[in-house]
Amino acid sequence: MRKKLLDSKIWIIGNKPAPKVISVFLAILFWVTPVYADSSDTIVLIHGFLGWGRSEMFEVKYWGGIGRDYEEILNKAGYETVSVAVGPVSSNWDRAIEAYYQLKGGCVDYGFAHAKKYGHERFGRCYEKPLLPQWGKKNKINIIAHSQGGQTARLLVHLLEFGSDEEKTATGLELAEIFKGNHPWVKSVTTLATPHNGTTLTKGVSIMTLNMAEKIIKGIAGLVNASDTLSAVYDYKLDQWGLKMQTGQTYKSYLSMVKNSPILEASANKDLASWDLSPEGARELNSWVKTSQNVYYFSVSTDSTEKNESSADEYPIITNALILFPSAIWLGIYRNMDPKEGEIKIDDAWAKNDGVVNTVSMKGPEGSKIETYNGKAKKGVWEDMGTWSTWDHMDIIGHTWMWNLLDKRNPKDFYLDHAKFLNALN
């Protein structure tokens, strides 16, 4: 027996849950016969900017939200699924390397050339119990990635298949396996609300969106009645910068240490998410990260704004998450029609957004071949699977808890259906 619950979105005001519209509950009881998947390649979930791992955030799942666990749901349905927990404010390079070692095992090697260039430690955490030690050419993965996770996934595929000439030249015999290339270990990449071409949110806020992380953490703490100490709740995973949280250190103390560290100085700004997520940083990333001819690429877009009748500006709809209202407004009104040298022109096409990312940026990376999915999957092409209108940035990963009242799609069903779809790919 299965119960489906229709509810309004619930988000955070202070430390208490706030209904975004009047809650409506509709229970439909019916008998179903469980359907399990045949053997399949493992699904790997890669979170976005400010994301977290399964044991963090009072065990509120990034993939599912409060009371939901999409990773567990997929596993119970027969689709082997794991999730990585990479640096929430780190660059896509650092995040891709961390994802590799979490899956394959070993001590993180960010690369000799990369570490020297940006001034952080070459080696990071060690993973003695990898998530997928059998991962390889005969045991490929299907990646599903949200937000910045989509950029991270693309870079991971690139390094696996093409390696890094810079690291090969600089490192010699000590070269890490991931930098050697010739590892076609990924079958597909699916990106959800990913800023492939950047987000103009970076024009309104800097890396001090660490403050937003703090608000989210405190909000979730209030929702689950958790401790106020927040000592080991959210891990910024910045060990390479000498910012490892110490035993017994409070979250407040650690956050203060991060905010006052050299990583926020100009010399490091291109090895952080704030650069990669900017339109200019995304353009630089797109200029060298290749689309593999061995991989299926799919993209899903989202939007939660509507155009103002008297202008081309976009404003958040009523079901947009309250915490994302200010950012949705900023994205909807920001323009840069006379860009300085090196900047990207931002016109009306960038106005529609999901509260975090401009919808125009989500279909695929500029410079790659992008097509509308026609029912027949093709490798080496970015296939646009459409836009989920009225869905804000966190809806697609279940943080509105079950349903969107305006179109009544359930993200849980999407993950199950998409897993079945990926399982059928050759």
pLDDT of residue 20: 40
CATH topology of domain 40-423: Rossmann fold (3.40.50)
CA distances from residue 227 to 52, 103, 110, 211 in whole angstroms, order as listed: 18, 31, 35, 19
**Which residues have CB under 8 Å from 239's CB, separation 6+?**
121, 124, 125
Which residue out of 8, 83, 91, 147 is catalytically annotated?
147
Which residue out of 94, 354, 392, 395 is catalytically annotated?
354
Is 301 part of the annotated catalytic residue set? no
Q: Which residues of 130-169 are buried (b: 16+ CB within 10 A; e: fewer)?
A: bbbeebeeeebbbbbbbbbbbbbbbbbbbbbbbbbeebee
Which residue out of 393, 395, 399, 418 is catalytically annotated?
393
pLDDT of residue 26: 29
Is 393 part of the annotated catalytic residue set? yes
How far apart are alpha carbons 188 and 196 in whole angstroms? 16
Domain ranges of the chain: 40-423
**What does the chain come to in residues?**
426
In order along its 426 residues, the chain shows pLDDT tens digits of 333 333 334 333 333 444 443 333 223 323 333 444 555 799 999 999 999 999 988 888 999 998 899 999 999 999 999 999 999 989 999 999 999 999 999 999 999 999 999 989 999 999 999 999 999 999 999 999 999 999 999 999 999 999 999 999 998 888 999 999 999 999 999 999 999 999 999 987 654 456 666 666 666 666 555 554 555 588 889 999 988 888 777 777 887 888 788 776 655 678 989 899 999 999 999 999 999 999 999 999 999 999 998 899 999 998 888 888 989 999 999 999 999 999 999 999 999 999 999 999 999 999 999 999 999 999 999 999 999 999 999 999 998 754 566 777 889 999 999 999 999 998
Is 147 part of the annotated catalytic residue set? yes
How far apart are alpha carbons 396 and 411 in whole angstroms? 6
Name the pairing type of β-strands 81-84 and 106-109: unpaired
